[in-house]
A and B are shown apart, each in its own frame.
Chain A
Amino acid sequence: MRYAETGFNLEVDLSRGNVEKVATDPRDTELYLGGLGTNAKILWDRVPPETDAFDPENLLIFSTGLLNATPATGCNRTIISTISPQTKLMAFSMMGGFWAPELKYAGYDKVIIRGKSPDLVYLYINNDTVEIRDASHLQGKGAIETAEALRQELGDPKLQVSAIGLAGENRVFFASIEQGRSSASRGGIGAVMGDKGLKAIAVRGTKDINLAKPAEFIGLCNEVLEYIKYREDHPIPGVMPILAGLGSPQEMKIHDEKWHTENFMWGNSRVRRKGFWTDEIAKAWTETMESVRRRLISCYNCPMKCGATISVPGLPTYMMKCFSKLTYTMAAMSDLEFGLSIAQKATEYGVDGFSTPQVMAFALELLENGILKESDFPGMPEDNEGRFYWLLDRIVRREGIGDILADGTYWAAERIGNGAHEYAHNNIKKHEQLPLKLSMLNPVYFLMYSTGEKINITQIEGQFPQAPFPKKEQREEFVKDWIQVPDEKFKQYFLDWEPRGENSNPYYPTPQIASEIVDWQEMMHYVDDALGTCAGLSSFPLKPPYHIHNYPKFIEAGTGIPMDKDKLVEITRRNRNLVRAVNIRRGMRRADEKPPANHWKKRFPELEAELLDTYYKFKGWNKDGIPTAETLKSLGLDYVCEDFIKRGILKADEEGEVNAEADQN
């Protein structure tokens, strides 16, 4: 018997209309755990670098995590991996909600989609019944509408549905896959789903998920629940409210938006509005939120309530979480009511809440600066908010200028030319970033922005405070019950980090210390992404209930695979290097690893080079960011090494190269 996982994947060939249930190799679970780890292995094995996002050979993998659907709190994420049309690299977006556990109860760990259907279809999975079905009646329907329509017509309110809207159908490069409560938005994975002619996957499952050591596992779960209660009663002092507790940033619950509105940029990530958050604004926005928010809601088996049901008068109800509360508002320099209204449309269309507002603000900036002409926007309303609605409609339909904008700011600028690239200024690896522009370089964030393969800062940062605490006593207080640190030395690093003086940004944390901190932060995301745990209970918040000390016990009690801290760290390194290998083989190099040029005003080219050098070395990568032969072999990734040598990515004589420093981690 397989424990925690089901041991089966569904292989769906949409070109041939074929579905197969395939047993997986338990050795892969031991090597890569599951989720992102096994997804990366499949993409490495089956999608060569010559394959583009919209080739039928590209795979779209919907994966559960190893601990999804066990009683472990918050293990509910769906990990979707494919090749991104926007970055042309591996995209791995994740969503919480209810879909992945349902798939596991139906008896599958992954659904692997290949090929393309000539007509729009949806996939129906009900335990052993798996069918590719006609979806022509769902064409053009919203993502949430689609889910409701399927529940109605199949008469099953418990059906869990992942669907795309119009944006995905029309292959918008920032189209999302929506699931009601949550969405997988980054990297344009919804466009790949649309390209394959797949409108939705509807799942229902009523089978058991087994545990290897039941009593131990439940004991661990109870400890996690106790710790969550403790943390609810003990918010971290000295940090802003949305970061003081657990969960995703509590944007639906907390009304105080001083920090976001005054520190993040408005418009096309341009304008900082200090002093924006007045009493009147606070009152008006609080009223707006309270009048439309019906309930705070959770994902599967999680008490955190990070999302909310939103009913704006006159619009259909939808669900929202996190910072998408403000992205449309701020891009349009408007108010919260506008943001929450247009977000309803955007959710049905199925677009990413980070990229979309920025693309629209970018278009208007190009118009303002004469790079695009009025004639490029025929019929666009005069008023600012009307323009955003108009642009959104053009983009998801790929009409006129919308067709160009639908490729995201980088590719749009490429097509528009005429200096448009200056305005696509907030990208990393061609992907739109959070609208942040800061003053002094932060070495830890420099490394994360540059090297994070998810290309989204919230999916690599966490655990370590974002800024030093001003007073020594505060720092001492903070480290007192910091049980999550992998090593005591991290406490000292934090104690020594000061807002000003010798031990402050950008020279402290030193490149070596910054590398160690980033490595820890990233490692926890890689554990979460393999297990399917929400980052909101683990890698993202300060002092989370899951950490490197209890995770091995969860894995062992859940799966029966003997596990300890060292072994788990090694698995995360294996998965990390495999993801990087997929991207290296697709051409990603050091030159691509940089934050937006204007992210910080004060830059230090020499220090930045030293930071990258040190971090690469620490990771066991060469100067170009390529994992060395030695690193690959030590992780059992010999097959990657061979392929690199065959392709000339690594030279045969580099094989024996000894990277002494890399051994120190």
Chain B
Amino acid sequence: MCAEKKTRIVKTIEIDVDKCNGCRACEVICSAFHAEPKYSSNNPARSRIRVIREPLRDIYVPVYAGEYTMAECAGRDKYIIDGKEYDECSFCRASCPSRVEFKEPDSGLPLKCDMCEGEDEPLCVKWCLAEALIYVEREEEYEVEEEKPEDLEIGLEALADKYGLEKLVDTVARLAAKE
């Protein structure tokens, strides 16, 4: 059985933390771009990219807003890179209750990077003259939609094996009701 392959463009931003100089221009332009009307105001507290900066420890990590999460994660690991200790949160993209990042300052609603919908290139990348942010479009092969249920089926079978089919059906029904 051979799945049909198609290609799609995946937008990625490569982050080179060694090149970041901590200027926060990325935060300025991101928040300006998403203002209504466009560019009518700016406020880094609304930006979808945040630079985690601790100048005296030489820590500079630009992080993009990802998914919203209701609860903070249980364990927080520490990373030591080049002798510098980073909190796991320093790399986390979640809009999470444990921190102020990636939430609208007044409403608290989560923010998420949308890759500057409608622009030729992400504006944070364009404004980062230090080239700490590099925009890369790459083509990626993926298996066409129809193949997906098969994967799902395998997964469901595994779950049914583990929990029993009835319990699985109940849970799916409950989740569906919540939606």
Chain A interfacial positions (CB closer than 8 Å to B): 69-71, 73, 98, 105, 144, 148, 157-158, 180-181, 205-211, 214-215, 217-218, 225, 228-229, 232, 294-303, 305, 309, 311, 316-319
Contacts and interface: CB of A to CB of B under 8 A. Distances in A.
Given A71-B28, A206-B105, A217-B39, A148 B56 contact: yes
Contact of A296 (B21, B28, B54): B21
Contact of A214 (B23, B40, B56, B60): B40
Given A225-B129, A229-B129, 8 more contacts: A180-B55, A208-B35, A214-B32, A296-B21, A301-B25, A303-B25, A303-B129, A309-B56
B68 interface: no
Contacts of B44: 105
25 contacts: A71-B39, A71-B42, A148-B56, A158-B100, A181-B55, A206-B105, A209-B42, A210-B41, A211-B40, A214-B39, A225-B129, A296-B21, A298-B22, A299-B23, A300-B24, A301-B25, A302-B25, A303-B23, A303-B129, A305-B21, A305-B130, A316-B56, A317-B57, A317-B58, A318-B56
The prevalent SS among residues of A at the interface is: loop
Contact of A207 (B32, B43, B53, B58): B43
Contacts of A300: 23-24
B122 to A, nearest CB: 15
Contacts of A317: 56-58
B37 interface: yes
A71 B130 contact: no
A208 B43 contact: yes
B55 A206 contact: no
B115 interface: no
Given A214-B40, A294-B58, A309-B55, A206 B45 contact: yes
A180 B56 CA distance: 9
B8 interface: no
Contact of A218 (B39, B53, B100): B39
Interface of B: 21-25, 28-29, 32, 35, 37-46, 53-58, 60, 100, 105, 127-130
A301 B58 contact: no
Contacts of B45: 105, 205-207
Contacts of A148: 56
B42 A298 contact: no
Contacts of B32: 71, 214, 218
B127 A208 contact: no
A70 to B, nearest CB: 7
Contact of A298 (B21, B28, B58): B21
A71 B129 CA distance: 14
B39 A211 contact: yes
Nearest to A319: B55
B151 to A, nearest CB: 42
A308 to B, nearest CB: 10
Contacts of B127: 225
A228 B54 CA distance: 27
Given A208-B43, A215-B38, A301 B28 contact: yes
A208 B104 CA distance: 11
Contacts of B57: 317
A419 B35 CA distance: 65
A440 B25 CA distance: 44
Interface centre among B23, B29, B32, B60, by most chain A C-beta atoms within 10 angstroms, is: B23
A229 B130 CA distance: 10
A196 B155 CA distance: 70
A298 B55 contact: no
Nearest to A318: B56
Nearest to A158: B100
A306 to B, nearest CB: 10
A467 B23 CA distance: 33
A303 B21 contact: yes
Contacts of A305: 21, 130
A301 B23 contact: yes
Contact of A71 (B21, B29, B53, B60): B29
Contacts of B42: 69-71, 208-209, 211
A297 B22 CA distance: 6
Closest 8 CB pairs of A and B: A214-B39, A206-B45, A303-B129, A298-B23, A206-B105, A208-B41, A298-B21, A214-B40
Contacts of B35: 208, 214
B23 A302 contact: yes
A301 B24 contact: yes
A215 B24 CA distance: 21
A311 B56 CA distance: 9
Contacts of A215: 38-39
B108 to A, nearest CB: 12
Contacts of B100: 158
B130 A303 contact: yes
Nearest to B131: A303
A225 B38 CA distance: 19
Nearest to B33: A218
Contacts of A299: 23
A205 B25 CA distance: 17
Nearest to B38: A214
Nearest to B84: A294
B40 A209 contact: no
A71 B34 CA distance: 13
B55 A297 contact: yes
Nearest to B40: A214
Interface centre among A180, A297, A311, by most chain B C-beta atoms within 10 angstroms, is: A297
Contacts of A232: 129
A212 to B, nearest CB: 9
A302 B21 CA distance: 9
Nearest to B43: A208
Interface centre among B40, B53, B56, by most chain A C-beta atoms within 10 angstroms, is: B56
Interface centre among A73, A180, A214, A302, by most chain B C-beta atoms within 10 angstroms, is: A214
Contacts of A180: 55-56
A144 B21 contact: no
A209 B41 CA distance: 5
A228 B58 contact: no
Contacts of A302: 23, 25
Contacts of A210: 40-41
Given A208-B43, A211-B41, A214-B40, A144 B56 contact: yes
Contact of A206 (B28, B39, B43, B130): B43
A296 B105 CA distance: 31
B58 A309 contact: yes
Contacts of B39: 71, 211, 214-215, 217-218
Nearest to A294: B58
A318 B56 CA distance: 7
A294 B56 CA distance: 10
